[in-house]
Structure 1
Amino acid sequence: MCGIVGYIGNRESQPILLEGLKKLEYRGYDSAGIAVFTEQGLEITKTVGRLANLENRLSGDPLRGSVGIGHTRWATHGKPSDVNSHPHVDNTSKFSVVHNGIIENYLDLKEELMMAGHRFLSETDTEIISHLISVEYDGDIVKAVQRAVKKMRGAFALGVLTEYEPDKLVAVRYASPLIIGIGEGEKYIASDIPAILEHTRDIYILNDGEMAVLTRDGVELMTMEGNAIAKDVFHVDWDLMTAEKGGFDHFMLKEIYEQPRAYRDTMLGRISADGKSVELPELKMTTEQLRGINRVHIVACGTAMHAGFVGKNVIESLVRIPVETDIASEYRYRSPIITPDTLVIVVSQSGETADTLAALREAKRCGARVLAITNVVGSSVAREADDVIITLAGPEIAVASTKAYSSQLIAFYLFGLYWAQIVGSQEAGEIAHILAAMQSLPEQVERILARVEELKKIAESISHHSSLFFIGRGVDYAVAMEGSLKLKEISYIHSEAYAAGELKHGTLALIEEGTPVIALLTQEALYEKTLSNIKEVKARGADVLGIDNEGHEVEAARSVDRTFAIPRTLPILTPALSVVPLQLISYYASLALGHDVDKPRNLAKSVTVE
């Protein structure tokens, strides 16, 4: 997830672009840059690091002109560096592009362009776009962009300038957000409303497959095929703080609602065009190395550890390789048994978690190959691991992790399926079946989010209690642990997660009349067993909410006080759905208690000390 902004008008563009990028820096802070039409032509200044670095560079050598585009980067293809920063240009430097998204087929396009004599400077997928447009240009920038995007597969929001037509700014949206701002004698593009709210409150919201041609005097809206479209102007009446949160009250709620996009982005470019196999070109390990692994250690902290518990189930089920999970702060102090045939998977949202980084280094010292699952390309974990799978959740602002956790689950599913393909532990038809179900997950999450009022009522009733319990079996137990952590960290209600079958071994003594229990029962093979455990707590007076699958509501209602059914999916994939109602229950319970949801007490977003 990156941030783009553009301006065409009569004022100096540089300060407008920089102010817009400040409002978008939450979307990425690996690098920043701007391109402006000056008296000398199209000029670009860009630099790695925070936006402040760009401001410092421009303070002594500003770009003067009234048309420009800007970008703040969340690195996906290519490490954070000056050369990988946006905007990108073609070999003539006459065409400049800023891009938010992923071009799935960029390697094929790049190879074709190189065969035709094009030279590339960066490792990014974006650079090929400026080259494609230059190839297609025949005097009409709009048609050149239309022809270029037809060759691209993936997700993209684009801002395009050419020195040949300096009175136009072209914008395109496909599967990445983009808005158009309307001012008197000036127009804007941006990834999000806050970037331009200081200048205008009248906007067009582009839909997928739409584009716009901006001039100082007007905006022409059309499809990517060139058919004109009409669109109502949306007047923004939010204040700036609300706008930065996308209209949501808190970043956490915004990030919960961003999970369908995070799922799609993390899968994007990693599932074959026919939907039958997984492609992970970013992995450096050979098929022979993958076949030679005979055990796996998954090491992480907190929420990432809970994703690791699901990952253990995924790998063992799909690949039939034994997996151990370990808390990173304990891992290197227990003298783990590591051999050259051990794969250590470290999981960290920030890629800077101190304990996880120390565990990674210990694993490498002992000769293990290390795979990192992280959300940050240039992080320490990403740099030091042998292989990396980047989760494309985008920056996560709230302390309590939501979309980063669920994107880690998607990464585990992709890696488990990829490994199963290599070793032949699953039939091709079964892999295709799971991938088809995975691609339905974003829409299924959206269906859960549409029922938020039900969950809000449940959360408000829970907020009156001082203690709560979560129970489940199999991957339901792994999700129960994450649900319990979410509730504790933002509502401060004491909660514990238990394997449902373990209740009678001691913890059942904690259940008394009116004790709230959230029971997950999404695993068909364990359904009857979990129902029996629910009856055990009900017999002691517990008030039980059952999280079950659609189709089981009537049966479950005989044993629980309330039910919330998630859309039906494959048992292995239910954690990607069942966690969403638990996130929302935690959020609304905290809200009911008047707590600061985004900044819970005593906690920080990234734990960079042991």
Structure 2
Amino acid sequence: MCGIFAFLNYASPNTAKIILENLLMGLRKLEYRGYDSAGLALEWCGSPLVFRQTGNVSCLEKSIFGGVVPEKVLEEVFFNHVGIAHTRWATHGGITHANTHPQTSSPKNEFLVVHNGIITNYTTIKLELEKRGFEFDSQTDTEVIAKLALYFYETERKENVGRISFASIIRRVSKVLNGAYAFACISTFFPHEMCIIKRGSPLILGFKHLQDSNIPIMFSDEEEILPERIKNELFVDPSAKPITSPLPCVEYIVASDVNAVLPFTKSVLYLEEDDLVHFSSNGLFKLHRPETRSQYQNHQRAPTTLEMELSEISKGKFDTYMRKEIFEQPESLSNTMRGRVNFDNFTIHLGGLRDLVDIIVRSRKFIMIACGSSYHSALATRGFFEEMTGIPVVVELSSDFMDRKTPTFRDDTCIFISQSGETADTLSALHHCKKSGSLCIGIVNTVASAIARQTDCGIYISYS
């Protein structure tokens, strides 16, 4: 598990120091996802500045502001800018400078990538790229993403396809990759642009000063048709000041978790599986889907406004999130059950399950599927479920459930428990169970998360 963060500003002047501070702030909110090493990259005069440091985010901050970047550089103002950042939990490769993100396509940094997840076929890809002359400096699976992007860019340039699209390159890369992942990529070939993609790992897009509430979707069977105004803007110097540039004033925030977005905005879009978002140098963006228009139900999406406050998901007065969760259990239980318990007639009302109660009570068995502390909560309540319902309950660890390809049936009810609603192994188990026709129930804390969207019904808990 790693943390991805990105900050983009268009026609919104910020100094290099503010941009760096924003990137570091985002990383600090994601540090629970990994603290073995941290790094970031920001655009700088056509050649990105890249900082990598083993250790936690504080080590990275000290290395940046400890004299590495001159004060004159820190005070320089950027009107349009893209920056990416990452905090790493070491999985592929040890805790070394070379394995720290952002990972690069070559020493020239043509493509830079920050990535969360696992690329299961990276060894095969790596061997193929080595045959084509690519040299690898790290032991990470992430490095193949950056080098694949460079390979496809050079391939399209040789094929003389005309104007090369950043989005088409990243889509080609994603078609080669197997596994559960999310990543963000920037390139010197596409200044002030960025591509992000989600497949099996959480990724959230935040908006600040967004002018249009409807987010357009581009499908695989469509050719992008740009308004004449935007076509002209593609050839405008993106570094031009707002007085001479028609670019919209907007900022975007990309993060692995909502707590890194909240300090900046409450307007967010939870990305769906296989979403690819391309931010262009004109400050606009488009959401690309691999399906054709006729295959996909929704042709537009709208941002969600977060109801939570930053204080609700921060550590507050506690040293760790674990201590916070332990001491706030009574409050969390009260919040979860508020409005759901009728003390006059001793009944509990769970509106999310009401329409499917008849199917649930006729189930052959309940299968509770979860990871980590969610798994242990299922173990703790298994006996209670069996006693109250008279129906057998099986508790499964999500990863083990998928390793065995456990069979499920139409008369089973599968209950998926995840605080984030984005746990990769639990999501894989959900997809597996839906294929067999089992009734799928989600118990999650995050509204509009992947598990909440994809289950048949469910319950939101109110842990804060």
TM-score of the superposed pair, with normalisation by structure 1: 0.43
Distance 2:181 2:416 in 1: 30
* Cα shift at 1:546: 6.0
* Cα shift at 1:102: 0.2
* 1:61 and 2:68 correspond: yes
Within the candidate set 180, 185, 190, 1:160 is matched to 185
Match of 1:492 in 2: none
Distance 1:22 1:143 in 2: 32
* 1:45 and 2:76 correspond: no
Distance 1:583 1:206 in 2: 17
Equivalences for residues 92-103 of structure 1 within 5 A: 92-103=108-119
Match of 1:222 in 2: 288
Contact 2:368 2:395 in 1 (8 A): no
Contact 2:369 2:417 in 1 (8 A): no
More relative contact order in 1 or in 2 (CA 8 Å, sep 6+)? 2
SS at match of 1:166: strand
Distance 2:187 2:144 in 1: 15
Contact 1:483 1:583 in 2 (8 A): no
Structure ranking higher in helix proportion: 1
Match of 1:565 in 2: 392
Match of 2:173 in 1: 148
Match of 1:414 in 2: none
* 1:193 and 2:20 correspond: no
Contact 2:369 2:396 in 1 (8 A): no
* 1:107 and 2:123 correspond: yes
* Cα shift at 1:150: 0.3
Distance 2:100 2:112 in 1: 12
Within the candidate set 71, 77, 82, 2:92 is matched to 77
Instruction: Write the letter of the residue equivalent to 2:181.
Output: F
* Cα shift at 1:192: 1.0
1:193-252 CA-partner distances (Å, limit 9, x unpaired): 11121111111110111111124633311114687952121111211133459xxxx967
Contact 1:173 1:208 in 2 (8 A): yes
* Cα shift at 1:88: 0.5
TM-score of the superposed pair, with normalisation by structure 2: 0.56
Match of 2:5 in 1: 5
Contact 1:209 1:223 in 2 (8 A): yes
* 1:36 and 2:42 correspond: yes
**Structure 1: 5+ residue stretches without partners:** 253-395, 401-442, 453-478, 488-517, 521-544, 549-559, 585-596, 599-610
Distance 2:22 2:84 in 1: 10
Instruction: Write the letter of the residue equivalent to 1:565.
Output: P
Q: 1:45 and 1:483, CA in 2 relative to 1: closer, same or farther beyond 3 A? A: closer
Contact 1:173 1:206 in 2 (8 A): yes
Distance 1:219 1:49 in 2: 34
Distance 2:89 2:56 in 1: 11
1:389-416 CA-partner distances (Å, limit 9, x unpaired): xxxxxxx99679xxxxxxxxxxxxxxxx
Report which stretch shifted further, 135-144 or 44-53. 135-144
Distance 1:581 1:207 in 2: 18
SS at match of 2:283: coil
Q: 1:223 and 1:33, CA in 2 relative to 1: closer, same or farther beyond 3 A? A: same
Contact 2:180 2:199 in 1 (8 A): yes
Contact 1:23 1:195 in 2 (8 A): yes
Q: 1:563 and 1:187, CA in 2 relative to 1: closer, same or farther beyond 3 A? A: same
Contact 1:20 1:195 in 2 (8 A): yes
Distance 1:145 1:44 in 2: 21
Distance 2:258 2:134 in 1: 36
* Cα shift at 1:547: 5.9
Q: 1:165 and 1:565, CA in 2 relative to 1: closer, same or farther beyond 3 A? A: same
Instruction: Write the letter of the residue equivalent to 1:242.
Output: E
Instruction: Write the letter of the residue equivalent to 1:175.
Output: G
Contact 1:187 1:214 in 2 (8 A): no
Match of 2:212 in 1: none
Distance 2:306 2:147 in 1: 36
Within the candidate set 131, 139, 152, 1:136 is matched to 152
Within the candidate set 267, 273, 284, 1:208 is matched to 273
Contact 1:8 1:186 in 2 (8 A): yes
Match of 1:445 in 2: 368
**Structure 2: 5+ residue stretches without partners:** 157-163, 210-249, 328-365, 407-414, 420-462
Contact 2:48 2:109 in 1 (8 A): yes
Q: 1:126 and 1:132, CA in 2 relative to 1: closer, same or farther beyond 3 A? A: same
Q: 1:76 and 1:205, CA in 2 relative to 1: closer, same or farther beyond 3 A? A: same
Match of 2:310 in 1: 240
* 1:231 and 2:154 correspond: no
Instruction: Write the letter of the residue equivalent to 1:238.
Output: M
* Cα shift at 1:61: 2.4
Distance 2:306 2:377 in 1: 35
Q: 1:170 and 1:569, CA in 2 relative to 1: closer, same or farther beyond 3 A? A: closer
1:72-122 CA-partner distances (Å, limit 9, x unpaired): 001110011111000011124110000000000000000000011101110
SS at match of 1:445: strand
Contact 1:5 1:21 in 2 (8 A): yes
SS at match of 2:198: strand
Instruction: Write the letter of the residue equivalent to 1:26.
Output: Y
Match of 1:127 in 2: 143
Match of 1:540 in 2: none
Q: 1:168 and 1:445, CA in 2 relative to 1: closer, same or farther beyond 3 A? A: farther
Instruction: Write the letter of the residue equivalent to 2:275.
Output: E
Instruction: Write the letter of the residue equivalent to 1:21.
Output: L
Contact 2:46 2:191 in 1 (8 A): no
* Cα shift at 1:58: 0.4
Q: 1:218 and 1:34, CA in 2 relative to 1: closer, same or farther beyond 3 A? A: same
* Cα shift at 1:129: 0.3
SS at match of 2:86: strand
Q: 1:41 and 1:398, CA in 2 relative to 1: closer, same or farther beyond 3 A? A: same
* Cα shift at 1:169: 1.3
Q: 1:112 and 1:209, CA in 2 relative to 1: closer, same or farther beyond 3 A? A: same
Q: 1:242 and 1:109, CA in 2 relative to 1: closer, same or farther beyond 3 A? A: same
Distance 2:104 2:396 in 1: 44
Q: 1:93 and 1:225, CA in 2 relative to 1: closer, same or farther beyond 3 A? A: farther
SS at match of 2:300: coil
Distance 1:177 1:136 in 2: 26
Distance 1:244 1:446 in 2: 27
Q: 1:236 and 1:163, CA in 2 relative to 1: closer, same or farther beyond 3 A? A: same
1:551-592 CA-partner distances (Å, limit 9, x unpaired): xxxxxxxxx67646325989xx79x99xx99999xxxxxxxx
Identity level (%): 29
1:409-458 CA-partner distances (Å, limit 9, x unpaired): xxxxxxxxxxxxxxxxxxxxxxxxxxxxxxxxxx943599xxx9xxxxxx
SS at match of 2:96: coil
Distance 2:83 2:278 in 1: 14
* Cα shift at 1:51: 0.5
SS at match of 1:83: coil
Contact 1:146 1:226 in 2 (8 A): no
Distance 1:43 1:178 in 2: 24
Q: 1:131 and 1:243, CA in 2 relative to 1: closer, same or farther beyond 3 A? A: same
Contact 2:200 2:273 in 1 (8 A): yes
Q: 1:241 and 1:483, CA in 2 relative to 1: closer, same or farther beyond 3 A? A: closer
Structure ranking higher in strand proportion: 2
SS at match of 2:191: coil
